[in-house]
């Protein structure tokens, strides 16, 4: 069993190792849902060289970030029937194709794992205190995804200003 539900680290993570620890000895588990987020090169989406992502720097507030994500997991448990959730989020400077985040959820059946995993990922993107700065050939810029974040929250019946505490 995984002893800590939330890990913030600069090092990369091994998905197979995390899943093996999450499932270890829990014979109730019939489903494991995971989401892995990676740094993408937005130039490939826009076709503009100025949009090419050279790196992304992620910052957070130690202690506050972990507590916020723990509260998200508690809220997910109130909504969905699952056994465990584990979140790993990286900080520091990352390059395109690097892993940023992993959300893994175990349950008896796939439906609850899928829903809880998606809920946690939407909450992570909208509520967790992380800040992202992209570096491109045209300079650095803070990433602001508030419009898409508001849409993600609305899907769960949560108002944008109703943050997890």
Residues 28-84 pLDDT 10s: 999 999 999 999 876 655 566 666 788 999 999 999 999 999 999 999 999 999 999
Q: Residue 98: what pLDDT?
A: 96
Domain count, the chain: 1
Look at residue 88 and give its three-state secondary structure. Answer: strand
Is residue 164 assigned to a domain? no
Q: Residue 29: what pLDDT?
A: 95
Structural domain of 72: 6-155
Is residue 1 assigned to a domain? no
Token pair 């790196």 in the structure block, residue: 55
User: What is the model's pTM?
Assistant: 0.84
Residue 99 near residue 37, CB atoms below 8 Å = yes
pLDDT at 1 over 50: no
Is residue 59 assigned to a domain? yes
Is residue 160 assigned to a domain? no
Is residue 97 assigned to a domain? yes
Residues 3-29 pLDDT 10s: 479 999 999 999 999 999 999 989 999
Q: Residue 43: what pLDDT?
A: 60
**Between β-strands 84-90 and 6-9, what pairing exists: parallel, antiparallel or unpaired?**
parallel
Residues 103-133 pLDDT 10s: 999 999 999 999 999 999 998 988 888 999 9
Is residue 163 assigned to a domain? no
21: domain CATH number? 3.90.1170.40
Q: Residue 163: what pLDDT?
A: 47
153 Cβ partners below 8 Å, 6+ apart? 122, 126, 159, 160, 162
pLDDT band per the 50, 70, 90 thresholds, residue 164: very low
Q: Residue 7: what pLDDT?
A: 96
Is residue 53 assigned to a domain? yes
In the Cβ-directed half-sphere of 52, how many Cα atoms lie within 13 Å?
6
Which has the closest alpha carbon to 15: 83, 114, 66, 88?
88
Is residue 87 assigned to a domain? yes
């Amino acid at each position: 069993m995984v002893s800590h539900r939330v890990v913030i680290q600069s090092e990369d993570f091994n998905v197979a190792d995390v899943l093996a620890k999450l499932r270890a000895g829990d014979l109730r588990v019939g489903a494991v849902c995971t989401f892995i987020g990676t740094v993408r090169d937005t130039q490939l989406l826009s076709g503009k060289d100025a949009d090419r992502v050279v790196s992304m720097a992620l910052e957070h507030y130690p202690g506050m970030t972990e507590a916020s994500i723990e509260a998200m997991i508690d809220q997910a448990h109130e909504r969905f029937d699952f056994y465990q959730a584990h979140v790993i989020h990286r900080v520091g400077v990352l390059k395109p194709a690097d892993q940023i985040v992993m959300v893994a959820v175990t349950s008896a059946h796939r439906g609850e794992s899928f829903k809880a995993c998606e809920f946690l990922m939407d909450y992570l993107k909208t509520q967790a205190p992380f800040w992202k700065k992209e570096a491109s050939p045209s300079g650095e810029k803070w990433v602001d995804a508030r419009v898409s974040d508001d849409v993600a929250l609305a899907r769960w019946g949560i108002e944008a200003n109703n943050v997890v505490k």
